[in-house]
Copies of this chain bind each other. A is one copy, B any other.
Amino acid sequence: MKELKVGIIGATGYGGLELIRFLHNHPEVEKLDLFTSSDEGAIFSSKFGHLLSIHDTALKKIDTETLSNFDVVFTSTPSGVTSKLLPPLVGVGPKLIDLSGDYRIKDLSEYEKWYKKDPAPEEIVNMSVYGLTEWNAKNIKNAKIIANPGCYPTAVLLSILPLIKERLIDPQFLIIDAKSGVSGAGNKPSQTTHYSEMNENFSIYKMNEHQHIPEIEQAIAMFADAKTTITFNTHLVPMTRGILATSYAPVTPGVTEEQLYNCLKETYKNHPFVRVVENVNSLGTNRVKGSNFCDICIKLDERTNRATIVGVIDNLVKGAAGQAIQNMNVQFNLPETMGLDVVPLFI
């Protein structure tokens, strides 16, 4: 019997649309309603034609009393918006899963520094649990508020945390060079994301200034017990979906490529969405397109004794909506893969 009543605030963003895509087929979702602060009454499929006959109902007004009857509410609004929008919903009933960056950074001054916005209320940030499912399931299970991880941090952390935790690589000289498809920039038009200027154009952006830097450093401290300042740069790839993060670090003397691989393999042996790939010389984002997988590979360069570690995800799925639903599954004691067990599109 279907049990869950689910609400989405911010359904018109790409994260929100992906939540709908997966929740539509989730066996335990009884009801799926979409909420808006500005566009009440609009028929959702008249805005997004691909949802014709799938979601033809009207957008509902955000209303605490209405939402109190839901089991879980996803907030998929931009950073700086959720910080104001979520607090009234805390404690009124539904589990809250936030896809923005507003509840991830525990140190509010760090949030302000990197996001250049006012932080969310401290007590709510403190209550929130970081939703990196494979590393925090125990806390996620009982969390009332989940701060769903950022897209880049998901690809980076899943690929490097095991190695840092086991001290197989040196986190003090960690260089992370990340590349993302354009959907990561959201659905709001801009000159940068104007088709003619983005197409056939690979670029670096926010050099050393991306707001996911403190999130990655915080998680390294939290899950691998290492304090470090990372070098982290981000690039835009002229494609819609996908993140590939290439990380570089010196390997602890004596450690072999086999040990590095085994560490990853062992860490994720019971985690169906993380696939450690062996013996590859190439790895691409099409392996995971449209799915909740994170594929990882590692190579040790014996000339330099440095490791190259690659993590690949679909930024909208494992990097956003998919992981959010995975966290919902954990919270409601459902199999982690429920509703998410789809085959990547490849092409």
Contact = CB atoms under 8 A, between A and B. Distances in A.
A14 interface: yes
Interface stretch (A68-76, A94-102, A204-212, A328-336): A204-212
A25 B343 CA distance: 8
A198 interface: yes
Interface stretch (A50-58, A81-89, A119-127, A145-153): A50-58
Given A20-B343, A173-B173, A239-B202, A52 B196 contact: no
Interface in A318-347: 341-347
A235 to B, nearest CB: 7
A281 B240 contact: no
B201 A53 contact: no
Report, as a range, how many residues of chain A touch the other chain. Answer: 35 or more
A173 to B, nearest CB: 7
A80 interface: no
Identical subunits present: 4
B310 A204 contact: yes
A281 B14 CA distance: 24
B347 A241 contact: yes
Nearest to A173: B173
Contacts of A93: none
A207 B20 contact: no
Given A49-B295, A53-B272, 5 more contacts: A182-B199, A199-B347, A200-B289, A202-B244, A316-B347
30 contacts: A20-B343, A48-B346, A49-B280, A49-B287, A50-B343, A51-B344, A52-B275, A175-B306, A177-B177, A181-B200, A187-B191, A193-B194, A195-B238, A195-B240, A199-B240, A200-B286, A201-B239, A201-B284, A201-B289, A202-B237, A203-B284, A204-B244, A206-B281, A229-B303, A230-B304, A231-B301, A236-B284, A238-B238, A316-B347, A345-B345
